[in-house]
C-alpha cells in the first residue's frame, strides 16, 4: 500500500515538473520569436504593425476565453467557429430590419442559445462533448446558410465606425478583448461559480459531493463559450465590413492551441486566463511573422497542429 502511494506521489510530482518545463519552453519560444521579429523585420515594432497584430488576435482571443471555460470542466467546444459565422451574419444582416443594438443583441443571444443546447446535451444527457459540439458545428453552419447563402454587408455606419474603429492608436475591438481577460480571471479565481467550473475539471465527483450543482455549472461554461464566440463574430464583421457565411471554419483549432499553449490541460485540471492570453499572443505573433515572410497558410496550420500535439503531450495527465 505504501509502495503504491509512493508511486502515485512520484507520478504526480513528475507530471507537475513536466508541465512546468513545458511552460518554460513556451516562454523561451516566445522570446525567440520576438528576437527573430526584431532581427529580420524593420516594420515589426512599428505602431501600425503592432496595432494590426492586436486587431488580428481579437477573434481568437475571445473564442479562446470561452474555450478555456469549457476545457476547465473537462469538455471541448468544436462549434465555436460556426457560432462566429452565425453571430457575424446575424449582426450584419438584421441591421436592415431592426436598429443596430437589437441586431447585436440578437446575435449575442443566438450564441448563448447554442451554448445552452451544447451544455444541456453534455450535462443533462451525459453525451460526449466532442460528439455534441461536432453535431452543433454542422447544424449551426447549416442555419447560417439557411439565413443567407451570400455575404451580408452591415448597413449601419455606426457599426464599423464604433466597433471597428480606434481609441487613439488602440483598436476598439482589441480594447474590448483586453478588458475581457481580467474579467474572466476574476470570474475563475474570485467568484464561486468560476471556482466551481475549475474544480469540476479536477474532480467532478468531489464537487458533486460538496453539494454543488455540476450540471448547472457545465451549462454555464458552454453559455460563456457561446457568448464569447458570438462577440468575436460581431467584432470580426465590424472589422471586415462584411460577414461571409463561410467564416469561422477551423477557428476551434486556433482556440484549442491558444489554451493548451497557455497551460490548459485537455480533460480539465489546469489552465487560466493569463496563460491563455499568452497563448493567443504567441499564435498571433507566429501568424504575423509567417505572413511577413509570405509563408502559405497551410504551413501555418501544420505548425499549429504540431504545437497542439506537443502541448498536450507535455501536459497530459498521469493515469
Lowest mean pLDDT among 49-63, 157-171, 261-275: 261-275
The three three-digit cell numbers of residue 51, written as one number = 496595432
**Fold adopted by 16-314:** ABC transporter involved in vitamin B12 uptake, BtuC (1.10.3470)
On average, the pLDDT of the chain sits at 89
Lowest mean pLDDT among 9-13, 29-33, 278-282, 305-309: 9-13
The domain spans of the chain are: 16-314
Helix, strand, coil % in the chain, rounded to nearest 5: 75, 0, 20
Task: With H, G, I as helix, E, B as strand and everything else as coil, classify residue 75.
Answer: coil
- The rounded distance, in Å, linking the Cα atoms of 77 and 117 is 12
- The rounded distance, in Å, linking the Cα atoms of 226 and 232 is 10
Residue 88 pLDDT > 60: yes
Closest CA to 67 of 224, 247, 246: 224
Q: Quickly state the pLDDT bin for 40 (edges 50, 70, 90).
A: confident
Q: Quickly state the pLDDT bin for 202 (edges 50, 70, 90).
A: confident
Average pLDDT over residues 13-30: 65
**How many other C-beta atoms can be found within 10 angstroms of the C-beta atom of residue 290?**
15
Residue 5 pLDDT > 50: no
- The rounded distance, in Å, linking the Cα atoms of 50 and 54 is 6
pLDDT of amino acid 3: 53
What are 50-55's contacts with CB under 8 Å, separation 24+?
51/166, 51/169, 51/170, 51/171, 51/174, 52/288, 53/284, 53/285, 53/288, 54/170, 54/171, 54/174, 54/284, 55/171, 55/173, 55/174, 55/239
What are 259-270's pLDDT values in tens digits? 988 888 888 878
CA-angle at 184, arms to 179 and 186, nearest 5°: 100
Cα atoms in the 13 Å half-sphere on the side-chain side of 74: 19
pLDDT of amino acid 24: 73
Higher pLDDT pick, 171 / 304: 171
The three three-digit cell numbers of residue 31, written as one number = 522570446
Contacts of 260 (CB under 8 A, 6+ apart): 266, 279, 307, 308, 311, 312, 315
Higher pLDDT pick, 245 / 42: 245
| H/E segment holding residue 155 | none
Amino acid at each position: 500500500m505504501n509502495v503504491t502511494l509512493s508511486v502515485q506521489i512520484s507520478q504526480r510530482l513528475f507530471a507537475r515538473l513536466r508541465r512546468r518545463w513545458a511552460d518554460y519552453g513556451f516562454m523561451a519560444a516566445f522570446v525567440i520569436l520576438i528576437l527573430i521579429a526584431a532581427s529580420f523585420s524593420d516594420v515589426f515594432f512599428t505602431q501600425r504593425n503592432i496595432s494590426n497584430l492586436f486587431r488580428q488576435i481579437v477573434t481568437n482571443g475571445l473564442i479562446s476565453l470561452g474555450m478555456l471555460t469549457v476545457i476547465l470542466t473537462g469538455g471541448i467546444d468544436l462549434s465555436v467557429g460556426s457560432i462566429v459565422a452565425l453571430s457575424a451574419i446575424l449582426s450584419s444582416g438584421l441591421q436592415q430590419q431592426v436598429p443596430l443594438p437589437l441586431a447585436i443583441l440578437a446575435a449575442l443571444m443566438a450564441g448563448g442559445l447554442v451554448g445552452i443546447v451544447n451544455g444541456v446535451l453534455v450535462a443533462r444527457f451525459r453525451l460526449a462533448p466532442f460528439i455534441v459540439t461536432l453535431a452543433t458545428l454542422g447544424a449551426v453552419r447549416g442555419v447560417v446558410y439557411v439565413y443567407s447563402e451570400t455575404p451580408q454587408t452591415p448597413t449601419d455606419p455606426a457599426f464599423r465606425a464604433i466597433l471597428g474603429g480606434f481609441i487613439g492608436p488602440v483598436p476598439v475591438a482589441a480594447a474590448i478583448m483586453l478588458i475581457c481577460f481580467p474579467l474572466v480571471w476574476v470570474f475563475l479565481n474570485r467568484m464561486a461559480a468560476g471556482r466551481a467550473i475549475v474544480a469540476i475539471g479536477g474532480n467532478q465527483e468531489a464537487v458533486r459531493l460538496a453539494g454543488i450543482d455540476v450540471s448547472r455549472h457545465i451549462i454555464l461554461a458552454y453559455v460563456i463559450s457561446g457568448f464569447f464566440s458570438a462577440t468575436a463574430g460581431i467584432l470580426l464583421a465590424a472589422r471586415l465590413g462584411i460577414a461571409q457565411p463561410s467564416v469561422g471554419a477551423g477557428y476551434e483549432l486556433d482556440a484549442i492551441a491558444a489554451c493548451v499553449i497557455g497551460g490548459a490541460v485537455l480533460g480539465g485540471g489546469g489552465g487560466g486566463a493569463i496563460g491563455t492570453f499568452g497563448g493567443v499572443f504567441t499564435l498571433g505573433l507566429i501568424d504575423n511573422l509567417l505572413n511577413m515572410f509570405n509563408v502559405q497558410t497551410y504551413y501555418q496550420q501544420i505548425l499549429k497542429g504540431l504545437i497542439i500535439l506537443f502541448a498536450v503531450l507535455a501536459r497530459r495527465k498521469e493515469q
